[in-house]
Structure 1
Amino acid sequence: MKSVNRPTLLFALSTLILGLFFGWLFFGEGKAVQDEHNHSMANGSEVWTCSMHPQIRQGEPGSCPLCGMDLIPVDMGDSDDENPMEVKMSPTAMQLANVQTAIIEKGKATKELRLSGKIQVDERSVSTQTAHISGRVEKLYINTTGEYVSKGKVIAEIYSPELVTAQEELFEAQKMKAMQPQLFAASKERLKNWKLSDSQIENILLAGKPQERFPILSDINGIVINKKIQLGDYINRGSSLFELANLSQVWVLFDVYESDLTWIKTGDPIEYTIQAFPGQKFKGKISFIDPFINPTTRVAKARVVTANPGNKLKPEMFVTGMLLSQVKGSQSDIVVPKSAVMWTGERSVVYVKSFNEQSMSFAMREVTLGPSLGDSYIITEGLKYGEEIVTYGTFSIDAAAQLAGKPSMMNPEGGKAMAGHNHGEMK
């Protein structure tokens, strides 16, 4: 048999010794540390856990190895008279988790609605200028939309064979006025039915011959918003010539989404601004709300009627309104911050503080949510006035409940406390 040389033997012995040392370091010491850690938690009255990772448990303060948050203490002591539905937290734990509470008081549920919209023509002020006699348009005095027309102004001239014939009949009736005054009166009345004034009829009689081109006078004041005729068009009696709108009063129409309709009603005051007048505020009241939802935009229109001296407000100007409203049919509501509510999609829960100030106990309570109020919710079921709820730090309370095996958001029935976080043993 060959003898093993000395350098080889020394290398083998060194390797064996190092292997034994590292094996003890990783397995022996780590196991001892973990056993000591678990023993200290079993005998201690407090366990330190992470509010975001309740599976992390230590017997002393520190940081969560998963997220780095400060660990909070949870009382793990058993008590025969302890309420199985409540979870206890020490004052130290509440301070570290920044748990805040508030007492529910009576109050009105109000919501600030921000609405956008536009200035629009008051539909009630829109009128149509029609032709009162048939004929051909020989001349137009109004050629573009946007022009202002005053009542009595000449807007067009027409040639009407029918009117020429009626004037000739008037002259014949005038000759027999002394013998047949009724015929003369009937001829004049016929012209009046075509909206000719007494002065126009007198001018015809003074001229002594028919006028071939006859002026059409405007019946109303307003701004032309739609021009419907062109030079040379033949028009019939009753034909629409122009559409005119009186802008001395306009509508402010706001878009209201269906989710906000419960918060708005006729008579509500609203304050709004107009892009064209930065820094200037306008006030009004909601006078009408559409009884239907636009199927394309999914909004209803809320209307404010406002005076418009000097036609300062122009149709299609953009407006932004702010309305502070109370929910319809509600005099007092339970309103809680959204930070107080834990929501799983199917269930909404809050934590209610026990009236025993020394125990610092909290019990999970399922609630029914009403409308959202920005940073708050209306609670329709599950809470009552005078109760004290957690408004900040609910996740910390819930983590403590999970650790203690009490009902929690994810485990509403409660159960065995979660296993400790094993970070020392390797298998």
Structure 2
Amino acid sequence: MNRNIRIIRIAAATVIAGAALLVVIHYRVGLAKWVLAGSVERSSDVHAAHTTAPAEKQILYYYDAMSPEHHYDKPGKSPDGMDLVPQYADEDAGMENMPAGTVRLSQSKQQLIGVQTTVVQREKLFRTIRAVGQLTADETKLAHVHLKVSGWIEQVYVDYVGKLVKKGEPLFTIYSPDLVATEQEYLIARRGKQNLGNSGFPEVAQGADALLRAARERLRLWDISDDQIKKLDETGEVTRTLTFYSPIDGFVLDRKAFPQTNVTPDMELYTMADLSTIWATAEIYEFEVPYVRVGQQAQMQLSYFPGKKYSGRVTYIYPTVDPQTRTIKVRLEFRNSDFELKPQMFSDVMLNIDYGNQVVVPQGAVLDSGERQTVFVALPDGYFEPREIKTGAKVDEKVIVLSGLKPGETIVSSGNFLIDSESRLSSAMSGMKH
């Protein structure tokens, strides 16, 4: 009895196990069919998408962006694990006749990187160069008073620095033994001329005349004026002291003439300056020099006299550059009839530069590598061409274009750095493909 029960239980367990096994097998087969069906469905979707793409854009091949020289027939991943990129036929066709580095950006991508454009124009440009000027006396109107004989100053008429004197005004009197002796020689020669001028011997008369001329010339060489010599002729007497006069109209800048002082020819007794015109020396940067010329008009203002402008002109451009400041000195000349302008004053100098009618672009549109300057010209259908240009002076926020662009062309004014990166990548990839 017990044995029969055991057999029945074993048989039941076997049936249950078999049924369970059949259920598991059936489940797995169904699952496999479901997965396979889903896979086939997705595969058909992918295939459908792949087959419809050429209707819009014909794919020539696929390539690895890191190794564009390697081409593949179908999408997927490269041996390096990179997603393959499609190369479309219309892209190659559109780029065939484009300059090297030209890129094409969709409208959405242009908006994404913030591309802005501007039209190249021709404008009349002006600019003002501002510099600090230091006033100095006109060096061509300076006078340095020296004697050509030794002696002693007895009386001084111009006795302080800063005095304004007129040409011919007495400066001082001097006693000089050499001058007294020369006067005596002159009077003797004059009397000899009078006594021997009517001699029956021509040689004697000519000799007396020659001595008189030589004595007169010696007085002149020692800066004795014709009026003083005339007075000597009239009086016939030696003058113990002689007076020296101012050679110019001007101010006394320095004085070393004092009463009872022994003086020699190497001493500078007065330094005088005619300040009716005055110089201003300004320093400008070397890149500004090409736009400054002799004769160019300039203006000047003084801090102590705001609102008043003085008009002058450039008279000289110095030939050397200061190695520390990289500046060049420019000399300007101003009228100073009322003597408001004084040496050693500081001033604000303004040089107006007229560049004329020039082709200009915004400074931000130019990519300057140091060796060359490049802009991106916007072409139809989203193409951007890199073009090398030659630039000139920068005026405010604009730069003059000397060559490479024409008025009316459209260039990129913002976002050009990102376009430049795209252009460099495109050029590199194009070179690797070929």
TM normalised by structure 2 equals 0.62
Structure 1 counterpart of 2:151, from 124, 131, 135: 135
Q: 1:106 to 1:78 in 2, by over 3 A?
A: farther
8 A Cα contact 1:275 1:317, kept in partner:
no
2:367 paired residue number: 342
Q: In structure 2, what is the Cα distance between the partners aligned to 1:170 and 1:344? A: 81
1:245 paired residue number: 273
Matched, 1:274 2:302: yes
1:346, CA displacement in angstroms? 5.0
Q: Deviations over 1:354-377 (max 9, x none)?
A: 1x2xx3443333444444334233
2:342 counterpart letter in structure 1 = K
1:316, CA displacement in angstroms? 2.2
Map 1:2-401 onto structure 2 (within 5 A).
Answer: 80-82=89-91, 83-84=94-95, 85-90=102-107, 94=110, 99-107=115-123, 110-168=126-184, 179=195, 191=219, 193-197=221-225, 200=228, 210-229=238-257, 233-236=261-264, 240-294=268-322, 298-326=326-354, 333-346=358-371, 348-354=373-379, 356=380, 359-395=381-417, 397-398=419-420
1:309, CA displacement in angstroms? 0.9
Give % identity: 30
Structure 1 counterpart of 2:427, from 397, 403, 413: 413
Q: Deviations over 1:105-151 (max 9, x none)?
A: 33456544223322222221112223243312334344443222222
Q: 1:229 to 1:413 in 2, by over 3 A?
A: farther
Secondary structure class of the residue paired with 1:261: helix
8 A Cα contact 2:310 2:334, kept in partner:
no
1:101, CA displacement in angstroms? 1.5
1:86 counterpart letter in structure 2 = V
Structure 1: give runs of 5+ residues left out of the alignment.
Answer: 1-41, 44-75, 417-427
1:207, CA displacement in angstroms? 7.9
Q: In structure 2, what is the Cα distance between the partners aligned to 1:365 and 1:199? A: 79
Q: Deviations over 1:320-361 (max 9, x none)?
A: 23333256xxx764422111123445554322211x2xx344
8 A Cα contact 1:273 1:319, kept in partner:
yes
8 A Cα contact 1:111 1:263, kept in partner:
no
| Count, aligned residues | 330
2:365 counterpart letter in structure 1 = A
TM normalised by structure 1 equals 0.63
1:95, CA displacement in angstroms? 5.4
Q: In structure 2, what is the Cα distance between the partners aligned to 1:202 and 1:347? A: 77
1:10 paired residue number: none
1:388, CA displacement in angstroms? 0.5
8 A Cα contact 1:133 1:238, kept in partner:
no
Structure 2: give runs of 5+ residues left out of the alignment.
Answer: 1-48, 51-84, 96-101, 198-207
CA RMSD of aligned residues (A): 4.1
Secondary structure class of the residue paired with 2:121: coil
Query: Whose radius of gyration is greater, 1 or 2?
Result: 2
Q: In structure 2, what is the Cα distance between the partners aligned to 1:347 and 1:197? A: 69
8 A Cα contact 2:248 2:274, kept in partner:
no
8 A Cα contact 2:298 2:352, kept in partner:
yes
